[in-house]
């Protein structure tokens, strides 16, 4: 059984948010020129309008990813790139890191503020787990396959500086003792089967509903995402009841679930009937095709596209926008276009007439948008890793060369959905 889990973290980025305009001013100007040229500041549409148009983009930081320095820098980069929403762990320090990244981006250029979403689970879920092992138990002659397969660089057997050991409000950095760097592990599970000595354990947890309800009252939290298996609605109903009236503070409620075949639609309808009496905002169904796999390769996105095809064709599905996730990458838009689902409008009203906040009209797109997780973190993460190896834990805007490089990567991905004039611009 999963444990109830609530983090009272004391970690924070090593420096207060302050944009440094003195160094590399020419490169920082190139950053501004790039964002202005593709028109991100001129986009006046709200995240809601992006969902209607079918060009909504969400950055998934990871439901279990808690490296606040990376999260802050990722949020800054993808805010400048024009995402509509940033999805993060339901932890106060993580939410603050996202907010700091967003505001730092807005100090550079007055771009629209994306919504901040927190992710929770109603029961055991792949997204809410950590790997764990004692490095002292590892044989000296082990080839360390776990290190090689970890996409988050969360396993090191020789020690590494860890943001989890950053003292609150200070610049003191500690050394980890090796093994799994907990705040970087997001539960992909790739290390479990490759350990030749079966030393790696899975630790699962469930986010605490009471703590989550308090987070929802923050003015920098706009949305919640509930991860559920879809096979049983009782845990979902219990979590929803536990959130109480905190949901009235939200702009969007999302439910993420895998494809469970023929029972998917009935499960969606049951969950919608549970939410409806207290649902006073937009709702969204996240179609989790192949969880945490977008960075693996081209084919990882096939399951999410197949799921979208299935749901888009369903006539009896409940109200709510549809959004792809799980295996999404640079090839997802091409796959949607091949199926005729990219920014394709609904031809008739498919919603309950009693629905108000969630009314889908003929102007809405069949697919509201795409969420990018592992792939989005990977392409920008290469730059962040280079930044950290050269300068340690730092703010990316203090190093405009790295910021420009990271932003180019982010725009190349976000631009495929937003249809920027030239998302592959380099200057």
Full pLDDT tens readout for the chain, 427 residues = 444 433 334 334 444 444 444 556 888 999 999 999 988 866 668 999 999 999 999 999 999 999 999 999 999 999 999 999 999 999 999 999 999 999 999 999 999 999 999 999 999 999 999 999 999 999 999 999 999 999 999 998 864 445 544 433 333 333 344 699 999 999 999 999 999 999 999 999 999 999 999 999 999 999 999 999 999 999 999 999 999 999 999 999 999 999 999 999 999 999 999 999 999 999 999 999 998 788 888 889 999 999 999 999 999 999 999 999 999 999 999 999 999 999 998 654 444 433 434 444 446 899 999 999 999 999 999 999 999 999 999 999 999 999 999 999 999 999 999 998 765 544 3
Candidates 84, 37, 33, 42; CA nearest to 417 is: 84
φ/ψ of 157, rounded to 5, equals: -100, 5
Torsion sign across C-alpha atoms 389, 390, 393, 394: negative
Nearest-angstrom CA–CA distance, 322 and 391: 41
Q: Are 164 and 123 in contact (CB under 8 A)?
A: no
Which residues contact residue 96 at a Cβ distance below 8 angstroms, ignoring those fewer than 6 apart? 12, 68, 220
Candidates 376, 294, 284; CA nearest to 335 is: 294
pLDDT, one tens digit per residue, over 55-71 is 999 999 999 999 999 99
Domains of the chain: 53-124+209-427 (3.20.20.70)
What per-residue confidence (pLDDT) applies to 13?
A: 42
54: its two tokens:
């079918």
Packing angle between helix 302-313 and helix 264-275, nearest 10 degrees?
Answer: 70
Q: Which residues of 56-91 are buried (b: 16+ CB within 10 A; e: fewer)?
A: bbbbbbbbbbbbbbbbbbbbbbbbbbbbbbbbbbbb
Which residues contact residue 156 at a Cβ distance below 8 angstroms, ignoring those fewer than 6 apart? 147, 176, 178, 179, 181
């Amino acid at each position: 059984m999963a444990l109830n889990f609530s983090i009272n973290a004391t970690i924070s980025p090593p420096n207060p948010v302050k944009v440094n305009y003195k160094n590399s001013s020419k490169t920082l100007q190139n950053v501004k020129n790039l964002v202005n040229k593709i028109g991100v500041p001129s986009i006046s549409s709200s995240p809601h309008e992006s969902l209607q148009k079918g060009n909504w983009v969400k950055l998934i930081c990871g439901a279990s990813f808690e490296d606040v320095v990376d999260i802050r820098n990722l949020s800054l980069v993808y805010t400048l790139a024009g995402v509509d929403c940033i999805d993060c762990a339901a932890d106060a320090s993580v939410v603050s890191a996202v907010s700091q990244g967003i505001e730092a981006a807005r100090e550079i250029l007055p771009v629209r503020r994306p919504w901040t979403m927190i992710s929770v689970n109603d029961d055991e879920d792949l997204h809410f787990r950590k790997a764990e092992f004692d490095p002292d138990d590892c044989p000296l002659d082990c080839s360390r396959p776990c290190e090689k397969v970890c996409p988050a660089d969360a396993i090191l057997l020789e020690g590494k500086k860890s943001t989890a050991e950053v003292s609150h409000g200070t610049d003191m950095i500690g050394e980890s003792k090796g093994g799994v760097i907990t705040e970087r592990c997001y539960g992909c599970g790739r290390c479990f089967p490759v350990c030749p000595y079966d030393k790696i354990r899975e630790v699962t947890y469930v986010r605490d509903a009471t703590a989550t309800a308090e987070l929802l009252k923050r003015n920098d939290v706009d949305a919640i995402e509930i991860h559920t298996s879809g096979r049983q609605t009782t845990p979902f109903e219990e979590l929803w009841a536990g959130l109480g009236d905190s949901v009235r503070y939200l702009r969007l409620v999302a439910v993420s679930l895998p494809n469970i075949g023929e029972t998917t639609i009935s499960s969606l309808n049951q969950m919608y009937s549970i939410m409806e009496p207290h649902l006073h905002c937009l709702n969204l169904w996240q179609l989790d095709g192949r969880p945490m796999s977008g960075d693996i390769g081209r084919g990882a996105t096939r399951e999410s596209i197949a799921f979208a095809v299935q749901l888009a064709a369903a006539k009896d599905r409940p109200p709510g926008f549809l959004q792809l996730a799980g295996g999404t990458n640079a090839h997802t838009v091409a796959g949607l276009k091949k199926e005729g689902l990219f920014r394709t409008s609904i031809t008739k009203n498919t919603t309950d007439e009693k629905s108000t906040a969630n009314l889908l009209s003929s102007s809405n797109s069949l697919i509201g948008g795409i969420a990018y997780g592992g792939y989005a973190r990977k392409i920008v993460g290469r730059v962040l890793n280079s930044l950290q190896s050269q300068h340690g834990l730092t703010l990316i805007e203090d190093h405009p060369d790295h910021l420009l490089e990271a932003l180019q990567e982010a725009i190349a991905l976000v631009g495929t959905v937003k249809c920027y004039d030239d998302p592959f611009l380099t200057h």
